[in-house]
Structure 1
Amino acid sequence: MLADKHILLIIGGGIAAYKSLDLIRRLQDQGARVTPVLTRAGEEFVTPLSVSALAGAGVHRDLFDLTSEAEMGHIQLSRSADLLVVAPATADLMAKMAQGLANDLASTLLLATDTPVLVAPAMNVRMWEHPATQRNIKTLKSDGVTFVGPNAGAMACGEFGPGRMAEPDEIVAAIGAALKDGPLNGKRILVTSGPTHEPIDPVRYIANRSSGAQGAALAAALRDLGAEVVFVTGPADVPPPSGVDVVPVQSAQQMSDAVEAALPVDVGVFAAAVADWRVASASDKKLKKSRDGLPTLAFAENPDILKRVSHMTQGRPGLVVGFAAETDDVINHATAKRLRKGCDWIVANDVSPATGIMGGSENAVVLISEDGAEEWPRMGKTQVARQLADRIAAALVG
């Protein structure tokens, strides 16, 4: 996938630096050439010898290398690669990037380059959430820097939350997407995700338990295969992935309008758990208890987004994928839904409470198509997303 691509890998100082050794190997397995740059802080976690041995190349460490600098080596180094990757990207290194500082080799390379930059942040959760770091992230994104991760989880410091560096395979996929080298390069794909909130009054709403995790993972997987992804998301628990066009919505009607605005696309994937009904006349004031008894709520049907797109006579996506969250008789209900909605595929799962799937980190799906039902084993939602993205790519490009 990355044959003949040249990656300049900057390894920052953090415990996650050990993952960069595996990253070098995986990049080489994909055919890439890796030139490593090791910061002084990075040397506290991995040795120049180990990095050099894996990369099969010398490690660049010092800005004031007289042999290289006689020919302005740091300028040449910063511009000869197809992509600069910073992994791990510490809070300190990201701050230098955002402020345009250049007081060592790594920061000078990042300031002198005209090559795209991808960063894989790794830091303590409090550092990640600090307003200064968030300001720096916003600045870097506006400068065109792309991000992969961080992931949430347990950290070496004993705390839990976002800040873990993305896994090497995730970084490799993000590199492929950044270089537009995946099988879905040039394809535009729409993904809906999360729940919708249907207002009852200004403080109450009707919703469901969807976390948006599967939709977000799928958007990331399609992005990593090179697709341009439009991600229309309701108020989900899981943040949207970086590197996609995020369109936040609240209600089913807003989601329908956003889908309409996003068309035409090559593929439509409708993973959102859209509420079937809304309150016909939501109150503009908070409903109060009264002696007259309970309030009566009249309901109206929400737009059927999947059915409308599936039955478009002009501009229909070449592949329309729906989702079906069931609690019983999953295959029969999902098969009937595919025929009723008119979509090409249905991804069905059992979300009854005993499965722990809704809101959990794993999924067990059945892919329903005109060829029948294909049951997939239970696996992480990220793995489900990658398998489905690969299947979509195969359907589009063969």
Structure 2
Amino acid sequence: MATDELPLDPAHATETSPSSSVSARRRRTHDQVLAVLAEHGVVTRADLSRLTGLSRSAVGTAVASLLAEGLITEETTADSGTAGRGRRPTVIALRRRPGIVLALDFGHSHVTAAIATTTGRLLAESSTTLDVDSRPERALDAAATLAREILRTTDHTESEIVGIAAGIPGPLDIRTQVVRAPTILSEWIGLSPAEELGRRFGHPVSVANDADMGARGEHTFGAARTVDDFLYVKASHGIGAGLVLAGRTYPGSTGISGEIGHTRLQGATNLCRCGNRGCLETVVSITEVRDQLAHVLSSATEPATEPDALPPLAELAAQPAAARVITDAGRTIGMVLADLVNCLNPAAIILGGELSAAGAPLAAGVRESIDRYAQPASAQAVTVQTSRLQQRSELFGAVATAIQQSTT
């Protein structure tokens, strides 16, 4: 046999075959992209470049190839509160079996259900107001009713659902998926929301604390898309924090990290639902802030305004007296967050929940306290901003979790 017809030694194949080298490099790039998508669910091309360390051109080539192979999908995001800020980004996700996902958001006084595509495009949502804390069965039933209503109105069926996720406004033991903390959601003690919702839908349901869901929503669709170390603060009737460290949600050993609403403030004496006095949420919850605003904005010639009758916070924040109240609330929250900034050195703090609708005055107050009380180097490293998802961070976090739950 002629010399040039001798078979190649496999050990030297990549050295002697440029096409094999290119192919191996391309496969490594593909694997990097697929690994990021498996972990993060839905990302943009810019996210892929940041998370893989690949150049934009390399990401573009890999995305085009994976799209051609049918392994991924790419489409424009739905409205997530960023309207008017330029062209909506396109997002990339692993191709999953055809279907839709169901997202559920339980607040202390509301339940919201939404359906979305497996790339995060919101198709429909609906909410109802009720006492979630003291009526768990009613709240769970309401979630099922809302879900079936939006499925019916959009001509979808339960058989199309490939993932369901829900956020609840209290700590969940991640070892057992049972509500355990006796001072928060006391009527839910011993209840497994995942099991109860699974029974209602006939489908597995992923459940997490609402602040953790909010953090995931911001990381996937919102203001924290470009950072992997940040704090998401949900400031509503309660105050909680979702921690994302090194790109992963940090729930703590049993799932109850981030309960900053029960940090005691020096000089505060209000009785808290947890049994202590002077907790943060007794001073700056949305209820407390609205009470303060009603007092400040009342006049001697007119009856005092009821807190529930006040205009939206976004409107009130334009009034100097109201802005002072909101900024002071931000300063109080910021004093607690300054200690976390010292401990965790995050790149960003994202303010969500109903109080975040106040916008700039709230963020300014938080910023002021962090600059005053955190170590200078850590304070300089962290940005402070309100959510871009307009109080829907938790809902979009449930969407992201449901998408990851779905399988190919």
TM-score range, shorter chain: under 0.3
Bigger relative contact order (CA 8 A; separation at least 6): 2
Q: TM-score, normalised by structure 1?
A: 0.28
User: Higher helix fraction: Structure 1 or Structure 2?
Assistant: 2
Q: TM-score, normalised by structure 2?
A: 0.27
